[in-house]
């Protein structure tokens, strides 16, 4: 993987380390990062994006604790080979919580009836 695969938006309301973790999650879920693939070192990412290395190592640490990455001695961080099935569903559901809250809030602002929203959500999930 190359450090340029990540994008960093310093001015966004989300802290940079969270942005990195989010992107790693999406890349892994989307298949662009395969299991066992070596991630760039903290120094490479920090140097490429001109961000504090502590931020990068915090992001890597958080991703490791969430099971996205694992540390290989001598090589660095690699994408976790063990799938997330080892984590409980409720834990994984809690990761989705912010997006669900945002969806509910948007729906309220648009004054949409909940049955309409749920029907569409169901059809999307079943695809």
Q: Cβ closer to another protein: 111 or 115? A: 111
**Minimum CB distance to another protein, residue 58 (Å):** 8
| 51/16 Cα distance (integer angstroms) | 9
DSSP the chain: --GGGS---TTSSS-HHHHHHHHHHHHHHHTSS-TTPBPPPHHHHHHHHT--HHHHHHHHHHHHHTTSEEEETTTEEEE-SS-GGGS-HHHHHHHHHHHHHHHHHHHHHTT--HHHHHHHHHHHHH-
Per-residue tokens: 13: 């309301």
Q: Cβ closer to another protein: 47 or 84? A: 47
Q: Cβ closer to another protein: 13 or 31? A: 13
Q: Cβ closer to another protein: 55 or 68? A: 55
* Contacts with another protein, residue ranges (CB under 8 A): 8, 10-17, 42-43, 46-47, 49-55, 58
């Amino acid at each position: 993987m190359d450090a340029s695969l990540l994008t960093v938006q310093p001015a966004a309301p989300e802290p940079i380390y969270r942005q990195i973790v989010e992107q790693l999650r999406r890349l892994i879920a989307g298949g662009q990062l395969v299991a066992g693939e070596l991630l760039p070192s903290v120094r490479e990412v920090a140097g490429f994006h001109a961000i504090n290395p502590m931020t990068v190592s915090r992001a890597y640490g958080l991703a490791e604790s969430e099971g996205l990455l694992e540390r290989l001695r001598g090589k660095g961080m690699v994408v976790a080979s063990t799938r997330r099935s080892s984590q409980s569903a409720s834990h994984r559901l809690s990761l989705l919580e912010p997006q669900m809250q945002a969806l509910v809030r948007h729906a309220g602002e648009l004054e949409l009836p909940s049955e309409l929203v749920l029907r569409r959500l169901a059809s999307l999930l079943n695809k």
